[in-house]
Amino acid sequence: MIKTKNKKFIYLISPDKINNKKFYNTLDKIFNLKKIEFFQLRLKSKNTKTITQISKKIKKICKKHKVKFLINNHPIIAKKIGADGCHVGQNDMNAKKAKNILKNKIVGVTCHNSIKLVKKAIKNKADYIALGAFYSSKTKKVKFKANFNVLNSVKKFTKVPIVAIGGINSENYKKLLLNKADFLAISGFIWKNKNLKPIEAIRKLK
């Protein structure tokens, strides 16, 4: 079961490229701030061998800091290396199949802005639901826009934790927490910030 009543509300998503040792050192320092609950490795353009190699290194850092480690769209790799679970989108493997592979591990599902998709994910025993995008994103083009009405509607019929996604930064994150999002998925604000280094950006989220 995922705990939601704590100060660690950040669900950190990796940059789309990890090319050097400096990244692992930075990640270690970020985790040391004790603000991250989840870390998702999201490498859409890499092959399974590369993802597996990188996953093994990240798993050690996550274990050291007690951060839950999830792999995007690769439940088989997640099972193979002993990650905490995986995240699947609507165009990835379906949640039911991922759950069958990972058994009691975490499976999260992207549901965009759709109540119908949320209910389907819950039926498939998803451990958390990702809703969004709430804001314009630097990470990918926004096809689906979510709002606080969708978030509040979902909170009324389920206790499954909600992860808000899409363009979240130090200016807008508090609105999502006030509207009872359990976790905030953040990527671009940390890794593509032109003004702040990753560790400085994380510190802005208090």
Q: What is the pLDDT along the chain (206 residues), one digit of tens a residue?
A: 566 556 799 999 999 999 888 999 999 999 999 999 999 999 999 999 999 999 999 999 999 999 999 999 999 999 999 999 999 999 999 999 999 999 999 999 999 999 999 999 999 999 999 999 999 876 667 788 999 999 999 999 999 999 999 999 999 999 999 999 999 999 999 999 999 999 999 999 99
Pick the CATH number of 10-203 from 2.40.50.140, 2.60.40.10, 3.20.20.70, 3.40.630.30: 3.20.20.70
Tell me the H-state helices in the chain. Answer: 21-31, 48-65, 75-81, 95-102, 115-123, 148-157, 173-178, 188-191, 198-203
Strand partners, 70: 40, 85
Instruction: For residue 74, count other CB atoms closer than 10 A to its CB.
Output: 24
Hey, where are the domains in the chain? 10-203
CA distance 77 to 188: 25
- Supply the pTM of this predicted model: 0.95
Burial (CB < 10 A; 0-12, 13-18, 19+), residue 5, is exposed
